[in-house]
Amino acid sequence: MVQLSKNSNKQADVQYEPHETPSLPVVFGLGFQLVVLTISGVILTPVIVIKAAGIEGDYFLWAIFAALVIAGVTTILQAVRIGRFGAGHVLMMGTSGAFIAVCVTALAEGGPAMLATLVVVSSFAQFFVAYRLSWLRNLFTPTVGGIVIMLIPVTVMPIVFSLLTDVAPEHQSTGAPMSALITFFIAAGLAMKATGIMRLWLPLIGLIVGTIVSAYWGMYDFAAVSSAAWVGLPSFAWPGFDFEFNITFWTLLPAFIFVTMVGLLETVGDAVGIQRVSWRESKAPDYRVVQGAVGADGVGNLLSGLLGTVPNTTYSTSLAVTELTGVASRAVGICVGILFFFIAFIPKFQSIIIAIPSPVVAAYVTVLLAMLFVTGMRLVISDQINFRKGIIVGVSFWIGMGFQFNLIFPDFFTGSFGNLLQNGMTSGGITALVLTMIWRVSLQRKVKFTSALELDKLPIVENFIRANTVGWNISDAVLQRLCLANEETILSLLEENQVETSGKSRTLLVTLVRRSGFAEIEYIAAVGADNIEDQVALLNESASEFNTGSLSLLMLHHLATSVKHQKYFDTDIVTIQVSLQ
């Protein structure tokens, strides 16, 4: 949840917002970039899982085909947003490396049918969280999401750097360094100086030029490209389902659900992060977007189970490319999905992309991951970081680092659970969640009051506030300011409720707690059309731009120290803080 400062932060580098459509060459160019960057990951994850499990036959090609089709369908769903499914932003979908360990075990011990059943069952956990994300709002915060995003480069960078020398010995001294250096120089060095349309194309130009240089040194595998078919379909090898539900299934199910929750945490972070880099004007994150992203992620996992392949997740590459290019148009996401879908039927195109030498890919991905780390850091800072949150961020990040590089009791954390923790994103994310829960439990107990969201209930809510601040030893002026802030908040909610629900009454839950130096009141009510936090922030720029209908917002702006507004499907949560000084 973003706390907007007194000076509205304008994202001047955003050239196309989600609802804006660039020219077709720009859309295709950026879509092609994203596909190039992620196609290997989408394909290689099921390859690694199936080979490690020792599975052979037609299922191998079927799993790759299904993964590409699902990546295309769900990426489009994220972009277009159908009902409550999809973010309405460019969020790429693809197979999840977090599932490699548990999927290998499921295939080895139960076969493809058991894998399919486990993926289907665990996907429903995502649907539940998507539907009731507001219940978990104190855990799935921008701070936690930012930590996970910061740890993604930590977990991936060792693999990326190893790709720099993943070539034949004769190329390691000259060809690999030259192709990587030229790619990096164009994608990062020149991109810093570029403006306008050139800034959009330089990353792709760097990739192409780096590939040409690598081909000059004999590193590009033309033989693999020439031998691949232009159009083709794999043999139908759908594995079906395993309905025995034996001890192996019940042993693996908790692990699948846990890894699904870890992937969900990444999706929450990506959905919050993509909003931050998609608008010219800074906005408070819309948690309906987050719910939609998680719901689409659940659809992807359900389809993965139904088709018998490895589960998927959002790819944080979307954030880095959007930040780098300034193009957040949904059209790019639709283009990516279409390309994924067609590539599933074009083995020749798959081979062209997969044949790009590893040093070239490593140089470009290094730039993207570096920007992704900064995006996560900005998310953490934007969430009103204080001493307590600083502890959560610092401890979680370094514990994630320690586990990632096998530095924390390596002889103790062994077996399946130990292997799971060796992923820095997983261990750091778990640490962040645990510390956040400890923090929430240790906070002062809140007092609660439930009422209908109606104008005539205002005196009752005010009496609730007055009755529960008797022992606070505050002045009459402070108490009056607190009551006025409460009144203006409820009036603002009433205005939105009338627009959205045609005057139908909704329930209002009010909680009150005293923090260090201020009072915090939380209002949980019906969904409205606008974000109160954004409107209050705009008043910092020019109150004269608002009509008399915004008088409540204007008053709230002057009375409250801070205003935060989280919007979910069917729920509005407004939190105000009023100074007690």
Q: 20-41: per-residue pLDDT in tens?
A: 888 888 888 888 878 877 777 7
Residue 6 inside a domain? The answer is no
Task: Decide: 350 and 343 in contact? Cβ < 8 Å.
Answer: yes
Residue 3 inside a domain? The answer is no
The H or E element containing residue 184 is helix 175-184
pLDDT, position 127:
86
**Which among 252, 300, 314, 395 is positioned nearest to 91, based on CA atoms?**
314
Which residues of the chain fall short of a pLDDT of 70? 1-12, 97-98, 101, 134, 136-138, 140, 191, 194-201, 255, 258, 262, 350, 353-354, 382-383, 414-420, 422, 442-444, 496-505, 526-557
Q: What's the pLDDT tens digit per position in 491-530?
A: 877 776 655 555 556 788 888 888 778 888 888 876 554 5
pLDDT, position 84:
85
Task: List the domain range (segments joined by +) for residue 433.
Answer: 385-441
Q: Does one domain contain both 375 and 396?
A: no
- Helix ranges (H only) for 132-246 are 142-163, 175-184, 191-193, 196-216, 222-227
- Tokens 């490690």 found at: 52
Q: Does one domain contain both 397 and 266?
A: no
**CB-based contacts of 192: which residues, under 8 Å, 6+ apart?**
none
Residue 479 inside a domain? The answer is yes
Measured distance CA(157)–CA(114) in Å, rounded: 33
Measured distance CA(384)–CA(141) in Å, rounded: 11
Using alpha carbons only, give the angle 320, 26, 281 rounded to the nearest 5 degrees. 55
The neighbouring-strand residues paired with 525 are 572
pLDDT, position 4:
34
Last-in-domain residue among 407, 441, 475: 441
The model's pTM: 0.66
The H or E element containing residue 364 is helix 358-382
**Residue 419 in tokens:** 């292997």
Q: How many CB atoms lie within 10 A of CB 491?
A: 16
How many structural domains are present in the chain? 3
Measured distance CA(490)–CA(496) in Å, rounded: 10
Residue 13 inside a domain? The answer is no
**Which among 70, 7, 550 is positioned nearest to 311, based on CA atoms?**
70
pLDDT, position 303:
94
Q: What are phi and psi of 265, to 5 degrees?
A: -60, -40
Q: Does one domain contain both 301 and 396?
A: no
Last-in-domain residue among 365, 383, 401: 383
Last-in-domain residue among 383, 412, 433: 383
- Tokens 């009731």 found at: 132
Q: Does one domain contain both 435 and 390?
A: yes
Measured distance CA(445)–CA(440) in Å, rounded: 10
In Å, what is the CA distance from 331 to each residue of 24, 30, 335?
Answer: 9, 10, 6
pLDDT, position 120:
93
Q: Does one domain contain both 275 and 399?
A: no
Residue 10 inside a domain? The answer is no
Q: Does one domain contain both 192 and 219?
A: yes
Residue 248 inside a domain? The answer is yes
**Residue 222 in tokens:** 């033309």
Q: Does one domain contain both 376 and 390?
A: no
Q: Does one domain contain both 108 and 157?
A: yes
pLDDT, position 553:
57
Q: Does one domain contain both 189 and 65?
A: yes
Q: Does one domain contain both 467 and 435?
A: no
Q: How many CB atoms lie within 10 A of CB 18?
A: 25
pLDDT, position 100:
72
Q: Is 250 exposed, middle or buried (0-12, 13-18, 19+ CB in 10 A)?
A: exposed
Q: Does one domain contain both 201 and 179?
A: yes
Q: Does one domain contain both 279 and 427?
A: no
Residue 85 inside a domain? The answer is yes
Residue 324 inside a domain? The answer is yes
Task: Decide: 161 and 362 in contact? Cβ < 8 Å.
Answer: yes
